[in-house]
Chains A and B, each alone.
Chain A
Amino acid sequence: AQSVSQHNHHVILSEAASLELGCNYSYGGTVNLFWYVQYPGQHLQLLLKYFSGDPLVKGIKGFEAEFIKSKFSFNLRKPSVQWSDTAEYFCAVSRSNDYKLSFGAGTTVTVRA
């Protein structure tokens, strides 16, 4: 069974610090990769996605992620966080011919002003 692992449960940062959230998946075939964000009191929103092509993907709000196929990883990064980035972040994976999206457990990011 496919699984998605997010390494950090809770990350606390100060404003302007850099952020990197790890995501690894266990399936070796063709995958589609996503990062979703859930701000307090809001619904899940797509930050960025990877389907094919350039493994460095840029998303909204200054986020980017790098797909490293050899490491089965899709880590999320932001060079300088803001207080408004406080949220829960989910990595998700789907694969060809599999009609579902598998989510990681989520990482809560708290940015202190």
Chain B
Amino acid sequence: KAGVTQTPRYLIKTRGQQVTLSCSPISGHRSVSWYQQTPGQGLQFLFEYFSETQRNKGNFPGRFSGRQFSNSRSEMNVSTLELGDSALYLCASSLFTLAGPNNEQFFGPGTRLTVL
């Protein structure tokens, strides 16, 4: 079974631009979560989508948004990029929503975003 895939793997943008990252979950998984990983803040939860609905959102500004499609693939968008948005963005999928039992998550390799 193929794992979680994320595209692109690396991205360089400049301040003020916007970016869209994509995540394809493991086949059959309906939950997709996004995390930001930085050396200073560690792994921080961005949001979870389940059945095309955002179930929860972390403490990030409204510039960070996402969506999920009917095939469970998810996209994350960051508008008006800032230098501090440079990070590894991880996507994780699970069979069930995070709020339920047995909510084991499988992580993708991440997208390394650099904002200049």
Contacts and interface: CB of A to CB of B under 8 A. Distances in A.
Interface stretch (A17-25, A43-51, A64-72): A43-51
Given A99-B97, A101-B33, A45 B45 contact: no
Nearest to A96: B99
Contacts of B103: 32, 94, 101
A83 to B, nearest CB: 23
Contacts of B58: 100
Contacts of B107: 36, 43-45
Interface residues of A, number: 25
Nearest to B88: A43
A101 B105 CA distance: 9
A103 B105 CA distance: 13
A49 B48 contact: no
Given A43-B110, A46-B106, A99 B101 contact: no
Interface centre among B42, B44, B97 (most CB of A within 10 A): B42
11 contacts: A51-B102, A92-B43, A96-B101, A98-B98, A99-B99, A100-B58, A101-B33, A101-B35, A101-B45, A103-B44, A104-B42
Given A32-B103, A106-B42, A106-B43, 13 more contacts: A43-B107, A51-B102, A52-B101, A90-B43, A96-B99, A97-B99, A99-B50, A101-B45, A101-B98, A101-B103, A102-B45, A103-B35, A103-B44
